[in-house]
Amino acid sequence: MLKHFKIDIQGHRGCRGLLPENSMPAFFKALDLGVDTLELDVAVSKDKIVVVSHEPYMNPVICLDTKGDTILDEDAKKYNLYQMTLNDIQQFDCGSKYHPKFPNQEKVKTYKPSLSEVLKETKIINPAIKFNIEIKSDAEYYDVFTPKPKEFVALVLDVLNENNACNETNLQSFDLQILEEIKIQSPKMEVALLVEDNEIIIEKLNKMSYSPAIISPYYKLLNKEIVSDLKIRGFKVIPWTVNTEKDIKLMIDYNVNGIITDYPDRLINILKQ
């Protein structure tokens, strides 16, 4: 319907502005809205199952404990996903709690799904849906909250292969060690370099041993000239996380290749205008 606009509509963590992040209800809603790509994050459970979660622990902002009680901020990292089985993880409610940054987010009692469940269930609804999967990794987390890069990447690739989802997936990370490992294990995989708001795009890019297909920076790092230069050099430019109508329109004006947003409904409505 919107393909002629040539902007990849990416639902951030499904559609975090509308429904609980990285949940099946959010992914289903994003599909219903008409996104091209589901953006999501992954961690790993104790039983080595790839779990869809932004943090490798229970974030007290969005999760309640197994009794439905509040998790204290200082206790959050005690709920380490890497030390819990998938079954244990899914006993937590990560959808009923009010989110201060998203006051209009619909509350739904829900759980953290496995990556395999997300791939299977969403592809049934839309076989053409694409996936932008962030491997949430940091050197200080290795062996404590996540596997080391070699094992982490292998686990994710196994799930993609099992679900015949490699061709419609790109992998992204802020962690350069993860990106290097992807290249070793899956040379043809489309890779996105994530760039933090306090980083410099070209400096980080120059630290890589190869050129990724996609540069995915914090949107405020971009201007029209930077986007043009990156595209001339052969990169796709897909900024995160662009939420206001003003900023969405600015990114469209910059001629980016895609937009990651918590409000894909806003992006879709703008593209219809």
* 166-190 tens-digit pLDDT: 999 999 999 999 999 999 999 999 9
Residue 78 located in a structural domain? no
pLDDT over 50 (residue 265): yes
Measured distance CA(94)–CA(208) in Å, rounded: 36
pLDDT score at 5:
57
Residue 98 located in a structural domain? no
pLDDT mean over 115-132: 98
Measured distance CA(240)–CA(181) in Å, rounded: 23
Full residue range of the structural domain in which residue 20 is found: 3-55+113-272
Residues in contact with 183: Cβ distance below 8 Å, sequence separation at least 6, in sequence order: 189, 191, 209, 210
Residue 8 located in a structural domain? yes
Predicted model pTM: 0.97
- Per the listing, tokens 């790109």 go with 170
Determine contact, residues 118/165, Cβ cutoff 8 Å.
no
pLDDT over 90 (residue 259): yes
Residue 191 located in a structural domain? yes
Residue 209 located in a structural domain? yes
State residue 114 phi and psi, 5-degree precision.
-75, 155
DSSP 56: S
**Angle separating helix axes 149-162 and 176-185, nearest 10 degrees:** 50
Residue 25 located in a structural domain? yes
Measured distance CA(118)–CA(199) in Å, rounded: 31
Domain count, the chain: 1
- Per the listing, tokens 């269930």 go with 121
Residue 221 located in a structural domain? yes
CATH code, domain with 257: 3.20.20.190
Express each pLDDT in 26-82 by its tens digit: 999 999 999 999 999 999 999 999 999 999 999 999 999 999 999 999 999 999 999
Residue 103 located in a structural domain? no
Q: Do you know the residue count of the chain?
A: 273
Residues in contact with 41: Cβ distance below 8 Å, sequence separation at least 6, in sequence order: 13, 22, 52, 53, 54, 133, 134, 136
pLDDT score at 6:
87
Q: Provide the mean pLDDT of the chain.
A: 97
Measured distance CA(148)–CA(157) in Å, rounded: 14
CB crowding 170-193: b at 16 or more within 10 Å, else e: bbbbbbbbbbbbbbeebeebbbbb
